[in-house]
Amino acid sequence: MIIIFLHLWKTKFKKMKLKITILILAIAIVTIFLNAKIYTENSFVTYKVDTKKQDLKLFWKNEKGQNFGSIENLKLWIEKKNLKLNFAMNGGMYKKDYTPQGLYIEKQKTLIPIDTTKGVGNFYLKPNGVFYLTTDNTAKICTTESFRNNGKIKFATQSGPMLLIDGKIHSDFKEGSSNLNIRNGVGILPDGKVVFVLSKKEINFYDFANYFKELGCKNALYLDGFVSRAYVPSENWIQTDGNFGVLFAVIK
């Protein structure tokens, strides 16, 4: 009788232990879900560019030496030339006078030298990096330290920080960080195409970098935040205001 009782008690204890374990796991899953920020493709404006087939360029000043400033000004200037603006986005960071911060190359001419100094702010969160387009229309992103101008670079803009370096998220980014902002950036996809991304909602650096990683990028560069704008009529996303330094554009 005692043996039967002990057996029943042991069986009941195991079932109770199992229920408690399941309950703990359920609470943990719910807690993670409630605290997690869920980002989907609908959280971003994404535009891919095949640089072998599309005309991707960087713009800063017009022929009169005046800053384009806004996407609207660039759009009007392009249309006066009987061309069409298919895409535009603010590029690398800029100073108070709207001069590009760090390296800027346009049509193989270095208009602003590369900045390898130390400082404060996102631009100087090392490693920062460079996006560039070669004369054979190959797009690349590299860290500032590894950048070399071989004379065959058609366009380049420096910014920071790097979001992804060789497939790894920047080591200074913290998962779950409360440093939220609208952000835009650029990455290189496995097939060599360029992907531009603008967050529709405020997002931290870690999650923003992770989105590029999910897209398959090995290297990605942060462009700017808060002021970020994009003109993507194919995605019904029209933002033409703002006042920037460098602008990315695809024209036809």
Quote the number of domains for the chain.
2
Q: Which two tokens stand for residue 18?
A: 């199992």
Residue 82's pLDDT is 97
- Residue 180's alpha-carbon distances to 57, 173, 201, in angstroms, are 30, 12, 9
Supply the mean pLDDT for the chain: 89
Predicted confidence at residue 122, as pLDDT, reads 95
Checking if the pLDDT of 192 tops 80, the result is yes
Q: Are residues 79 and 17 in the same domain?
A: no
pLDDT band at 42 (very low <50, low <70, confident <90, very high): confident
The pLDDT score that the predictor gives to residue 17 is 52
User: Do 94 and 157 share a domain, yes or no?
Assistant: yes
What is the DSSP code (8-state) at residue 171? T
- For range 239-248, the mean pLDDT: 97
208: which DSSP letter? H
Per the structure, the complete domain to which residue 89 belongs is given by 41-251
> Is residue 218 scored above 90 in pLDDT?
yes
Distance (Å, rounded) from C-alpha 159 to C-alpha 166? 17
Q: Which of 23, 24, 72, 75 is nearest to 251 (CA)?
A: 75
Tens of pLDDT, residues 123-156: 999 999 999 999 999 999 999 999 999 999 999 9
Q: Which pLDDT belongs to residue 136?
A: 97
Same domain, 26 and 51: no
Q: Who has greater pLDDT, 158 or 11?
A: 158
Please give the pLDDT value at position 5.
43
* In a shared domain, residues 83 and 179: yes
Residues 149 and 24 in one domain: no
Q: What pLDDT digit, counting tens, does each position of 8-32 carry?
A: 445 554 555 545 444 444 444 333 3
53 shares a domain with 168: yes
Q: H or E segment at 55?
A: strand 55-59
Asked if 13 and 103 sit in the same domain, the reply is no
Q: Are residues 23 and 48 in the same domain?
A: no
